[in-house]
Amino acid sequence: MTISQENKKVLLLITIAYLFSIAVRLIWVYQFHGYEPFMFNGQFMINTNDGYFFAEGARDLVAGFHQSGDLSPVDGATSQLTYALVKILPFSFESIVFYLPAFLGSLLVIPIILISYSIKRLDMGFIAALLASIAWSYYNRTMVGYYDTDMLTIVLPTFLLWSIIWAINSNQDKFLLITALDILVYRWWYPQSIALESAFFGLILVYALFFDRKNSYNFKLLAIMLFAMMMTSELIRLPIVVALYFIFKNKNFDKYMYYILGAGVLAFFASGGLDPITIRLKLYIFRDSVDASTAGLGLHFFTVMQTVREAGHVPFSEFASRISGNPITFILSIAGYIWLSYRYRVMLLALPLIGLGFLAESGGLRFTIYAVVPLAFGVAFIISELANKMPSYFMQYATLFVGALLVLLPNVLHVKEYQVPTVFNKDEVVILDKLKQKTSREDYIISWWDYGYPLRYYADMFTLVDGAKHDGDVNFPVSYILTKPQDAAAKMARLDVEYDAHATKIAEENAKKSEANQTKIASNIEEMTKANGFKDTNDFLSALESGANITLPKKTKDVYLYLPYRMLSIYPTVTLFSNLDLMSGSRYADPIFFASQASNEDEHFIYLQNGISINKTTASVKFGDKEMPINRFIKTGYKKDGKLSIDTKQLNSMASITVIYLASYGQFLILDEASFNSTYVQLFVLEHYDKNLYEPVEMTPYAKIYKLKI
């Protein structure tokens, strides 16, 4: 079978666009080649926290084992694909994990060019492929090191869009199966894909009912999509859609087509097809700052989505730039997409991608990547149309080249400037690797949820919170441990670890039982409250902090506290989760905690970057119009032998503000007594630890690890 000239052209354009996309992603590698802080054991580390979750699963698959209840995603698509590639390819595990996003994310150019081929606009598709593959938000989430589901989360729905467009245009039976298989693969890779699948289904339904009702092919497409979209295992859906494909190929079954469609509707809803959609809407759109439990003690917890930047509101300029490179290109892209859809109505099928992308205005910047592809088509169509109006071939190619250059340049400049660091630096990883040699996989390491996945990966221990396990009820105890005084924090650490281990055991037992026989458990903090004879959690916490006789569970796990320097910048966020009345949900007054570098200094004042000034003459700190006296001024610094030196000057014992100058970091801390006495500040910043409660294990300027002794 010979390949036609047209197909050769398509393959050539795909190859060029694919290599261009990868080459742009290698800019980061060129910039940081040989930069030791970003490397461990001679390999680049990844630059997304969530990536360590999937890397843990892949690592455990390669090793052939993992411990019970450790939440390792050995059944996840990303981990399984990585495991398969490690077995097939002659590269190291670390190299595959690091470079995989670039090679998979760049596959986006294939469906883009195939879609343009379906409407005979290859010039438009080639420019759209170049632009979409390196657009700000898409590049950010598919660059080297960004080992996450995002490396195929846009590629797969774009393939789905391609198969739907070809199905609608050609009415060929093979595209019924291809569309269903696209859905199966998309769902396997990204379980939350049901929302976008449903949106595509809805558009096809509208098209079939109002514009092409007599065409039975459209209803066959809808039926096979419904069965592919059911909320059941791929092992159930795959044989069903394959059987349907052969049934639909036989024209004798056309008379049963509407019965099959009806069965598909029933199967979809009966399997809970709409449940994931409503859950995601509540999570990203209809979210509250405090969650209230209606069971048990009715405790209230602070919701994590209020603190996640990617779920926050996005300014228009950033929103537009992340999708198209800059606001001007974005506006042209919208106009171009409208024009393109008017000329080729089938391109309206891309509206779900635009709609989901525009959720970024309210749901957060993570959604912008969905709008990249259709709007890349839009501006590419304008360039293509301008080129077609040129009087000569030379002018046409020149227009295409200049137009492509203008829309690509802002995105390439962004890539050059976007020098994102790795999640942890080498020094942080070295101490975790040392810790792993001294501990058991059954032990716990406590830190904030931002670091949960990399801690599990490098230290190979259990964590209380991580990138998925960070609801308010699990964040509360960890926030409490980090921000309260040492004694109460130590007791909470022992309590929460033992209760978490118990809850993990129950969860494992529940997995083996029917739903009716499963054991119901409340949050750990509620269980602690009840176990100690309290009906009010505030009373329990007061007793914990006052040194009352709280019954601690028997020690079954060793517990370690991981306190990194990088937590200074998010300490105020950490406090939010434990700084509230759990019974009523009302928040207490925010503690004072500011971390800042000096921007200027003169004879009388030290001016900090956040508008705070320190008056050296009056020994006070000025916040806007408010001036407060300083209790103590502390200067810390690391000596040549790595030991911490501390110089304390008592200024006003009646004052409530402490100023700490961290000379080795060039940073000032302004904090009240509550923050000063917190476990994090005392153990990390000052190394003042209660020897009855904690034992230092690893002490470096980047991070400090203590072992709990009770």
Segment 30-66, tens digit of pLDDT: 999 999 999 999 999 999 999 999 999 999 999 998 8
Length in residues, the chain? 710
Helices 234-249 and 216-228 cross at an angle (nearest 10°) of: 160
Mean pLDDT in the chain?
A: 91
Domain boundary among 395, 417, 439: 417
> Going by C-beta distance under 8 Å and a sequence separation of 6 or more, which residues neighbour residue 549?
none
484: CATH: 3.40.1380.40
Q: Cα–Cα distance between 356 and 368 in angstroms, integer? A: 8
583 in a domain, yes or no? no
Q: Cα–Cα distance between 498 and 555 in angstroms, integer? A: 7
Q: Cα–Cα distance between 475 and 498 in angstroms, integer? A: 16
> Going by C-beta distance under 8 Å and a sequence separation of 6 or more, which residues neighbour residue 445?
435, 455, 459, 461, 462, 463, 559, 560, 561, 562, 705
573 in a domain, yes or no? no
Q: Cα–Cα distance between 31 and 23 in angstroms, integer? A: 13
Lowest pLDDT segment from 28-32, 131-135, 216-220: 216-220
> Going by C-beta distance under 8 Å and a sequence separation of 6 or more, which residues neighbour residue 170?
none
Dihedrals phi, psi of 351, to nearest 5 degrees: -55, -40
β-bridge pairing 300-302 and 290-292: antiparallel
662 in a domain, yes or no? yes
Q: Determine the 3-state secondary structure of 699 from DSSP.
A: strand
Shared-domain flag, residues 466 and 402: no
- At residue 224, what is the residue type? I
Going by pLDDT thresholds of 50, 70 and 90, the confidence category of residue 255 is confident
Secondary structure element (H or E) that encloses residue 646, with its range: strand 644-650
The pLDDT of residue 214 is 84
Shared-domain flag, residues 212 and 82: yes
Top pLDDT among 256 and 355 is at 355
Lowest pLDDT segment from 69-73, 225-229, 452-456, 601-605: 69-73
**Looking at the predicted structure, is the pLDDT value of residue 309 above 60?**
no
Shared-domain flag, residues 411 and 441: no
Domain boundary among 384, 417, 450: 417
Segment 660-710, tens digit of pLDDT: 999 999 999 999 999 999 999 999 999 999 999 999 999 999 999 999 999
Segment 548-599, tens digit of pLDDT: 778 899 999 999 999 999 999 999 999 999 999 999 989 999 999 999 998 8
Shared-domain flag, residues 67 and 111: yes
**Looking at the predicted structure, is the pLDDT value of residue 512 above 70?**
no
580 in a domain, yes or no? no
Pick the closest to residue 464 from 439, 497, 441 (CA basis): 497
The pLDDT of residue 311 is 52
Shared-domain flag, residues 528 and 451: yes
Total structural domains within the chain: 3
State the virtual CA torsion across 151, 154, 156, 162 in degrees, nearest 10: -140
Cα dist from 453 to 462, 639, 706, whole Å: 10, 32, 19
Pick the closest to residue 618 from 608, 632, 604 (CA basis): 604
Shared-domain flag, residues 548 and 677: no
Handedness of CA 349, 353, 359, 360 (dihedral sign): negative
> Going by C-beta distance under 8 Å and a sequence separation of 6 or more, which residues neighbour residue 177?
224, 241, 242, 245
Domain boundary among 417, 451, 473: 417
Shared-domain flag, residues 368 and 478: no
The pLDDT of residue 632 is 96
Segment 376-405, tens digit of pLDDT: 999 999 999 999 999 999 999 999 999 999
170 in a domain, yes or no? yes
H helices then E strands: how many in the chain?
Answer: 31, 17
The tokens for 288 are 């509250």
CA 549 to chain centre: 41
Q: Determine the 3-state secondary structure of 455 from DSSP.
A: helix
Location of structure tokens 């109006």: 389
Mean predicted confidence (pLDDT) in 197-218: 90
Shared-domain flag, residues 399 and 510: no
Cα dist from 541 to 33, 273, 479, 693, whole Å: 51, 42, 13, 19
Shared-domain flag, residues 612 and 691: yes
Integer Rg of the chain from CA: 29
**Looking at the predicted structure, is the pLDDT value of residue 293 above 60?**
no
Which residues is 462 bridged to in the sheet? Answer: 444
The pLDDT of residue 304 is 72
CA 212 to chain centre: 41
Shared-domain flag, residues 511 and 368: no
Q: Cα–Cα distance between 232 and 273 in angstroms, integer? A: 9
Shared-domain flag, residues 183 and 161: yes
**Looking at the predicted structure, is the pLDDT value of residue 177 above 90?**
yes
Q: Cα–Cα distance between 299 and 537 in angstroms, integer? A: 8
Question: CB–CB of 671/593 below 8 Å?
Answer: yes
β-bridge pairing 644-650 and 626-638: antiparallel
579 in a domain, yes or no? no
The pLDDT of residue 294 is 45
Shared-domain flag, residues 74 and 114: yes
Ranges assigned E (strand) in 463-592: 559-564
Mean predicted confidence (pLDDT) in 343-367: 86
- Domain containing 82 equals 5-417
Question: CB–CB of 634/660 below 8 Å?
Answer: yes
Going by pLDDT thresholds of 50, 70 and 90, the confidence category of residue 136 is very high
**Looking at the predicted structure, is the pLDDT value of residue 283 above 60?**
no
Going by pLDDT thresholds of 50, 70 and 90, the confidence category of residue 609 is confident
